[in-house]
Amino acid sequence: MKKKLASKVINAGSVFLGNYSCESAGDYASGTNHTLPTNGNAKAYSGVSLDSFVKKITFQRLTKDGINTIGRTIELMAVAEGLDAHKNAVSIRMMNVEL
């Protein structure tokens, strides 16, 4: 029964199953941890784990065609958010491509 319920959990920082699975065990000894998302943040975040300490770097490279393809959309989004410097960064690049 508990396994059936566990498979229905969608958002949780940690789930404690069974009479002996108390939160203090998770906080101190059973392999999970004390730092869990609160206030509904489990919809987007997990508890702290080894993955929390892995540095991730993303790389992006746009070509002339790429900036021409998505540039106007980026400008519109930046204007909608009131981020003039973001818009200008794209506009300047697009002017240089068009030369």
Tens of pLDDT along the chain (99 residues) come to 567 787 888 887 778 877 777 777 776 677 666 667 778 877 887 777 777 777 776 678 888 899 999 999 999 999 999 999 999 999 999 988 755
Q: Would you kindly state where each structural domain of the chain is located, as residue ranges? A: 10-53, 64-98
**Inter-axis angle of helices 64-80 and 84-98, to 10 degrees?**
150
Tell me the C-alpha distance between 17 and 3, whole Å.
8
pTM of the entire structure? 0.50
* Structure tokens belonging to residue 94: 């697009």
